[in-house]
Amino acid sequence: MKPVRSLLSIAFVLATIGAAGCKEDPPPAKQEPVPADSASAKGKLNPRSPVAPLAKVDPQTMKEYRIDVCYYGTLTLKEARDAYLASLGKDEPSEKKIPSFGSPPPSGKPGDAKGPDAKGPDAKPGLPKPAKPPAIGSADPKAPPSRDARPADSARKPGEGRPFNFVARAPHERNARACTVAAGLKDPALPELDAALAAFAPYAVELAKNIAAAQNYYQREEYKKDSFEKGKELHKKLVADFGKLDELHGKLGAALTAHREKNPADASKWEEGQKVAMTAFDNARLVLTGLAGEKVDLEAHKAAVKKLEESSEALKTFSQSHSTDPWPKIMTPALEGMLRALKDAEPKITDKGVDPETFLPVITSFTSVIEAKHRALSRSLIAQGQTQPRPMPHGGMGAPPGAPPGAPGAPGAPGEPHHAPHGEAPAPAEEAPAKE
């Protein structure tokens, strides 16, 4: 019986093992996706975000826009010239006569190294001044500093001047570069304007560069190191170039006026919002040109400002019943900015002209109006469906998803290389071929 019992025990063990082997394994645990991994995977599936279309602007309209920025923007060169020559008279720069360029220096008086916030003799080195309470409506003091924030004046070493304010020179160079851009637009050919631009553009860029160099030189008080050697060299260049400014700028203005008379805009193609906005734009231009001469007709100026106020108000009223129309939405803030600049300038406007320091904000505000007009036109064209693919980085053009590299409109295909005030959405990138 022992062999039989042994055989039964073995059979029982084998049966138990077999039953266990036939049992189904439990399914593996389902792994929950990690949010970060999910976002990463989504990014890999769509490496290129959809690109917004680009307004298709008529080439002549684009060229006229660039020329407007060039001509009216470089009125700041005249403002700088008048301030410079008035501050020196017939003399060269010296310790007794530090030249001015019409912009208020960031450290108080020209050549003042300490500035209004510099430490006094009783200040303790290394200890910052107590923070002043923020004004009503100012930014939250607890908010993190912006990326453009600069160290506080009190953190500078005793006697150290403020850093050079590059913003003060920016309009001259930026507006001069607009002349170079305008001169580079060959389509369409505008013989008289092209000739005037060819002569003025390189001159304006060089003059703006020398003004910037001189501003930098005096703001940093480098004249104390070289006894005005570089300052006198720059003085010779500036005086020589200032002598050509009226002639070259005047020729460009005459060519622009003649072109405008020969090629009036076809207002019959404009929508209602554009008609109201362009009336205000024309009034703004008349105000600026009335101030740009050697003498100012005060009665005519007051009448022109009143017309600008009325047309700006009409545009604002139009927006109340057309909240999505780009013309009042974009143009109104720029026009209001110009009216504020004119109000600030009013006490210093006489029949003999405008104080250079006062004229700069007026010029800059009108340049903003020009740029706002162009942005409004671009948005309007996009709303009407008059678009083209937006240029992509590396010279490619936007293409439908899945298009092979090198295909028309795909990255790597030939493409044309491709400015918005604070608070505005980025302007459509430079547009090309629908008449304004």
Number of Cβ within a 10 Å radius of residue 377? 27
424, two tokens: 């505005």
Residue 214 sits in the same domain as residue 95: yes
Rounded to an integer, what is the distance from CA 229 to the centroid of its chain?
Answer: 35
**What's the confidence (pLDDT) of residue 389?**
86
- Stretch among 41-50, 205-214, 267-276 having the lowest mean pLDDT: 41-50
Find the domain containing 326 and state its range: 268-383
- In this structure, are 228 and 165 located in the same domain? yes
Choose the weakest-confidence range: 43-57, 176-190, 341-355, 360-374.
43-57
Q: How far apart are CA 59 and CA 45, in angstroms?
A: 38
| Token duo for residue 20 | 């266990």
From 217, 243, 264, give the residue that closes a domain. Answer: 264
Half-sphere exposure of 216 (CA within 13 A, CB side): 11
* 161/279 same-domain check: no
Instruction: Note whether residue 9 is domain-resident.
Output: no
Tens-digit pLDDT profile for residues 141-154: 444 444 333 343 33
Task: Name which residue leads in pLDDT, 308 or 393.
Answer: 308
Taking only Cα atoms into account, the Rg of the chain, rounded to an integer number of angstroms, comes to 33
Residues 202, 182, single domain; the answer is yes
Q: Are 230 and 216 contacting, i.e. CB atoms less than 8 angstroms apart?
A: no
The pLDDT of residue 32: 52
**pLDDT, average across residues 317-322:** 96
CA angle 289, 380, 170 (to 5 degrees): 45
Give Cα 362 to chain centroid, integer Å: 17
**Does residue 90 register a pLDDT over 60?**
yes
CA distance 308 to 22: 92
CA 411 to chain centre: 27
Same domain, 249 and 301: no
The predicted model gives 257-277 an average pLDDT of 95
